[in-house]
Structure 1
Amino acid sequence: RNGKLCCESTNSSKFTDQCLKPAVEDFVNRSLGPNIVDEMRKCKEFSTRMSFQYSLLKDLPSKKKFEDYLNYSSSYEWYIKNRIRQQIEERFSRSSVTFEFEDRHLKSSISSINDAIAKATEGNAVDLKALVEDICKELGDKLVISQTALDSVMILNNADKEQFAHWLTVSVNDMAETLREKFKKMTFSKKLEHLHMNPLNELFTRVIGCGKQCPFCAVPCEAEGKNHKEHFASQHRPQGLGKYRWDSTKKLVTDICSSLVDSDNRFRCDATNNKWHPYKHYRKYFPDWDIRPDVSSKASNYWKYVMATYNTDFAKAYHAEPADIPHSWKIIESKQAEDSLKESFPIK
């Protein structure tokens, strides 16, 4: 009798370790990504794309780091991803929220397994192979058991069904404790590696929009969704922030796109094969961009403040000469810049 119990115990342990445990871990890893995204979206910053942009630009002046402005303009997608990564890590690295999610999914899995064992045991399975198949059938799509793992598990057909079910329940409870400890000890960054859905990519897709930037001032497109035919921005920035400089002096440009496309000025860039082209007819080279002409249009106080504060830094980074900054820009203070940002983003 002891030999038989030993066999049933071994079989149940084998089935648990090789089939059920990977399926439970897989279920947790499938569920955790969406949990993290939902949790992050509770933060106001991630509620809409506009909220994210506002929060991003609002934080920049307080950091007082030129590199952040440079990366925002020159490496926009990388900068956004980096920001999201930091926000996710800040929210989850030092909190128990992730473990609470994992524990909830673990308990739900164990409950499903125990229900499946009970139902299968009451069924008409003639041997252990049939019993195990019934258990797997009961678990359905929630816990996907690998067929390869199942085939590799040796089940003794003459073993006692009730005894096997008993030892299986014991093994499953042991497995739950083992996994609970594993989840507790694992670092957050390690957990991210195992997820089916990458929360960073999911959040990035939600807040980036199409990710296109104005070819002149590098302001991000504001059109909703990814399938719009034209890109636009309600407010353009001084073109020097997009690396444009005056040809004769090499000084960064302080004018903004809306006024330049309403002027007689010309531009040249890689798209024009470095040949001069009238701003008024910019759509020959950038047909996807709709820049509304407005000669009276001025940069917002926010970007005037940024350009005045980091004029020499931008010039150095872009291998240009510093712009001729108007005196009125130099006296703008950070509070005025922030107020201007609030006006640009109608967020309550």
Structure 2
Amino acid sequence: MIACQGATSITTFADFLCKKLTRALRCATYDKTAIDIADEMRSNYPAFNGTRAKLETHILKSLAEEENFEKYKQYIQSPRDFFENFIQRCVDNYLDKEKAKLLSFLNSRLCVFCSSVHTAIDESTKAVKDKNGNASLWLDEFCNRLRGDLHFPRNELKSIEHQEIKDIEFLKKSMVGALNSVKENLKQDFAAPDVEPFKSKPHEILLEQLCGCWETCPFCKAVCTNTFSGHDGDHSVPFHRPQAVTGIQWHRTNHFIIDICSSLVASDCRLVLSGDTKIPYRNYRQAGPVHAKWSITPDNSAQSYWKWFVCHFRSQIEIEYSGKFEGKGRIPPEWAGFTKEAVLSDLEKL
């Protein structure tokens, strides 16, 4: 227990309290700044100012511009991880260019929190004077007033609650002086802004805001577009992809299936379950519990984007999945007419 007398006792009390406040202020400042950055990017960064579907459009554009098959594989096979990495790269690039803005956010939030602490000091002092209270009561009042702004547990201050402090005005003055020092020290810490101290990283906040359902079509791996994880009802997507995108081949051949899932359920094709057991493709829900949770409605609409992808990465797809675009999997000649510029233009219209 800290045991001092008079002015020394009060100064020690204030210094001890402000050391505790330093950590609380730093954490609160970083937490709020992370939200500020996420909000800033939601407002001003085109990829993030809409739904996850809009973000996915930006990702598809980025992938097409890079023309990197390995990145496409990551996106198709692990969409959630790819989304998170994409968002993190965007945030890192943004903050690298906007260091002054990050510093401004940090200092602005710090000032707001320090103002709250200053108010709590004033109000606690007045309350204790009115009640002719002691140090323990002052701490009670102080912590209660900070409860909505800072994580500052009262039970961590038991070592100073029995201090004999009679000059409450001097305590107030000492606290204000110590708080000013804390504020200046934290500003110096923030002078070289860094995202590492963030408990909740800005990109994690953005991912959570843009999350939704991550279930993928059991055939083409398109991601369910429902905006809620664990949503009621079936999974669905507005556009399915040629099944060759995930390497699916016609039974007992090495020929890729270039049809999209929604056209297959409208056809007379049959789905092979195991061995030679087959069912009409339209009865795909019978294939298992995963398939049963998907709504794939008959539709021949296919995005030009994935037709371009199949043509552009034909050789890589064949190597990756040991298949051929032959026989029923022959690529229609008209697919070769889709240019990258044209499919990117189509994406803009979504």
1:335 aligns with 2:341: yes
What is the CA-CA distance between 1:173 and the residue it aligns to? 0.3
Name the Cα RMSD after superposition. 2.5
1:25 maps onto 2:26 in alignment = yes
- Equivalence map 1:80-91=2 (5 Å): 80-91=83-94
Residue 274 of structure 1, CA deviation = 8.1
2:293 corresponds in structure 1 to 288
Identity %: 25
> Separation in 1 of the partners of 2:78 and 2:147?
45
For residues 151 and 52 of structure 1, what CA distance do their matches in structure 2 show? 50
Query: Which of 263, 285, 293 is matched with 2:267 structurally?
Result: 263
1:164 match: 171
Residue 186 of structure 1, CA deviation: 4.6
CA contact (8 A) 2:318 2:324 kept: yes
Name 2:311's counterpart in structure 1. 308
Amino acid at match of 2:284: Y
Under a length normalisation based on structure 1, what TM-score does the superposition of the two structures give? 0.86
Unmatched runs of 5 consecutive residues or more in structure 1: none
Task: Please state if 1:10 is matched with 2:17.
Answer: no
Amino acid at match of 1:53: E
Structure 2 match to 1:102: 106
**d(CA) in 2 for partners of 1:225, 1:129:** 47
* Distance in 1 of aligned mates of 2:119 and 2:342: 63
Partner of 2:36: 35
CA deviation vs aligned residue, 1:239-275 (integer Å, no higher than 9, x gap): 1012211233312221111221122222336xx5884
Which amino acid in structure 1 is aligned with residue 72 of structure 2?
Y
Q: How many residues align?
A: 334
Report the Cα offset of residue 35 of structure 1.
1.8
Matches within 5 A, 1:1-348: 4-18=6-20, 20-42=21-43, 43-46=45-48, 47-95=50-98, 96-122=100-126, 123-124=129-130, 125-153=132-160, 156-188=163-195, 190-192=196-198, 194-195=199-200, 198-226=201-229, 227-268=231-272, 275-285=277-287, 286-294=291-299, 297=300, 299-322=302-325, 324-343=330-349, 345=350
Amino acid aligned to 1:256: I
1:270-296: CA deviations, max 9, x gaps?
A: xx58843331211212222222224xx
Instruction: Give the Å deviation of 1:176.
Output: 0.5
Is 1:215–1:242's contact at 8 Å kept on the other side of the alignment?
Answer: no
Q: Distance in 2 between matches of 1:134 and 1:235?
A: 59
